[in-house]
Structure 1
Amino acid sequence: MTGVSDGSVALPARSLRPFVRRYEGYRLSGFPAGSHVGMPSVDLTIILPIGAPLTISRTAMIDQSPGEFGALASGLGVEPVVIEHDGYQHGIQISLTPAGCRALLHVPPAALRQYIVSLDDLLGDDAPRLLDGVHAASGWAAAFTVVDRILVGRLGRATLPDARLDRAWIQLTGPASVTVGQVAADAEWSRRRLETRFASEFSVTPRDAIRLGRFTRAHAMLRAPEPPRFAEVASACGYFDQAHMARDWRSLAGSAPSVWRANEVFASVQDDSTASATGSTV
């Protein structure tokens, strides 16, 4: 049986765009049963399963047991998560910027680390309203409108981080080649001060932020149905060479990009260039 993908990618309401990267609705069926690797990223992740909970066989934190998880959030880090599936997955993934963690979940990213945290613990009464609305929605656009409404209502209730930390995150994870020392100088901090403040806010080091930026860009390019050659991806994403990219992928994803691409049945079914773009303008 040929796998079928019915999904949609949407921008959030305008007031949410500094905090939410995108919404990604997915409904995948008819694929072979197997494992899906949840990759480290520059974004935090909220997942709203529609139907069955997620079965996670490998968590990112060694002191958190695998198991079944409903609606969840997870923070920043450098470890992959492994999700088992029977060839069917249905839900919405929300990608938050680090600033969005404070603005919408009302905690800094370091409070989550890479633990899998129930949305009930983070959103309180908003969690059941969000899930009930998404389950009742008649389509992707209606579901994304529900998410917009709940998240917009959570704005303005939390203190945002020092602007220098937000700027440092953008500099270190962006495409421009910068050093930790340059970013520290821009913030008018010592390098040690930057490293301490950065880790206390984001739970990753400045060097790991650089790695996550490169990796996220490479992952996005390799998700395409017809991705560029690996050497081209490595050059475009700031790696020294293809071997450097392969070493980083083995560390962050658990396998070289060629192995991930060959084994990941969901690699390109939700590629941004093929999914329909919807979204509100609140």
Structure 2
Amino acid sequence: MYYELISAEGGEPVVVDEYVRGRPSQALRPYVVSYSGYRQRGVPPMRHLGLPSPSLTMILTLDDPLVVESHPDPRQGAGRYDALIGGLHLTPAVITHDGRQAGLQVALSPSGCRALLGLPAGELGGLDVDAAALLGDRAVAEIRERLAHAADWPSRLAQLDTWLNKRINPDKARPEITHAWERIVRNVPVGRVAEEVGWSNRHLTTRFRAETGLNPKEAARVARFDRARRSLSPHRRIAEVAAAHGYADQSHLVREFRALAGCTPSEWLADEFAFVQALQLQPAHDDSHD
């Protein structure tokens, strides 16, 4: 396992703004995509979008609860969570904080949901649930306590990795779905994937949705969107990102952003990076072509 400190700054002692990321140990890599840790204190209150991605999300807070203003499923009311697990989804969650937050986030593959949590990712499709309801109050309380008392970020990530390693049950995973998922998110046609696993197209689609919470077309769509939005930056033209990730044109990418994120790429950049110049990437601002 390794970790990388992305940013850490603070002029006054009361201001803390840290973000780290890491990879799991070898045994966990079929099930865990990545780790990230964050700690902020004394920063301005913020609103963050939890966007659709090809990973389920587990968040373990270190102090204050996670405040979810709205969930991907509008039938879920706003909530506060010491620990949360979110399934795959097609609309954003809205998370807020008042200038203070700290926690660790685990990005899980769909096969990791079975191997580590003991249930198919399809049962969590579009939902955010209290982690204690799935893992038990005691297990969640114990890992949060160990994380909170760890001396530094490398220690926290190591504690998290050890805890997850103890939970692995590879027999719970479904090899055909794991293979299909890995191929679908790389935009391999459904017909070819069905042949590879020995199923009909219809059977693959039915099983795939039940196991992951998305159908193959939705999974490929979310994976492409995730790759595109991760390559966005205030210093890269949106049209260039659209072309690099197979969108017909800039307008196509903007439509996908509106559908999956509820905003345009420029609006997302401005919020995510708190960088107003992101709105000035284009010579003439027009949200229909932004």
Coarse TM-score class (shorter-chain normalised): 0.7 to 0.9
* Kept after mapping to 2: 8 A contact 1:106/1:158: no
- CA-to-aligned-CA distance 1:42-68 (integer Å, 9 cap, x gap): 001001112111111111112211121
- CA-to-aligned-CA distance 1:95-118 (integer Å, 9 cap, x gap): 111111111111110111122111
Report deviation, 1:34. 3.1
Structure 1 residue 209 corresponds to structure 2 residue 219? yes
**Matching residue's letter, 2:75:** D
Structure 1 residue 256 corresponds to structure 2 residue 264? yes
TM-score, with normalisation over the residues of structure 1? 0.86
Q: In the alignment, what sits opposite 1:80?
A: 92
61 and 190 in structure 1: CA distance in 2 versus 1, 3 angstrom threshold? same
**Matching residue's letter, 1:62:** P
Instruction: Map residues 1-282 of structure 1 onto 2, 5 A cutoff.
Output: 5-124=17-136, 125-156=138-169, 158-161=171-174, 163-174=175-186, 177-222=187-232, 224=233, 226-265=234-273
RMSD value over aligned CA atoms? Answer: 2.0
Q: Which has the greater radius of gyration? A: 2
* Kept after mapping to 1: 8 A contact 2:70/2:76: no
Report deviation, 1:261. 0.7
Runs of at least 5 residues in structure 1 that lack an aligned partner in the other structure: 268-282
- CA-to-aligned-CA distance 1:228-260 (integer Å, 9 cap, x gap): 221221122222221111111111111111111
Report deviation, 1:27. 1.3
Distance (whole Å) between structure 2 residues aligned to residue 29 and residue 172 of structure 1: 40
Report deviation, 1:158. 4.9
* Kept after mapping to 2: 8 A contact 1:126/1:150: no
Distance (whole Å) between structure 2 residues aligned to residue 172 and residue 235 of structure 1: 20
Q: Classify the secondary structure of the residue corresponding to 2:154.
A: helix
Report deviation, 1:25. 0.7
Distance (whole Å) between structure 2 residues aligned to residue 151 and residue 227 of structure 1: 37
Q: Classify the secondary structure of the residue corresponding to 2:132.
A: helix
- Runs ≥4 residues deviating over 4 A: 1-4
* Kept after mapping to 2: 8 A contact 1:137/1:143: yes
Q: Classify the secondary structure of the residue corresponding to 1:264.
A: helix
Q: In the alignment, what sits opposite 2:282?
A: none
Moved more, 110-119 or 206-215: 110-119
- CA-to-aligned-CA distance 1:208-231 (integer Å, 9 cap, x gap): 001111111012112x5x552212
* Kept after mapping to 2: 8 A contact 1:36/1:266: no
TM-score, with normalisation over the residues of structure 2? 0.84
**Matched pairs, number:** 262
Moved more, 112-121 or 100-109: 112-121
**Matching residue's letter, 1:109:** A
Report deviation, 1:266. 6.4
212 and 227 in structure 1: CA distance in 2 versus 1, 3 angstrom threshold? farther
Higher relative contact order (CA 8 A, sep 6+): 1
* Kept after mapping to 1: 8 A contact 2:89/2:127: no
Distance (whole Å) between structure 2 residues aligned to residue 146 and residue 251 of structure 1: 38
Q: Classify the secondary structure of the residue corresponding to 2:38.
A: strand
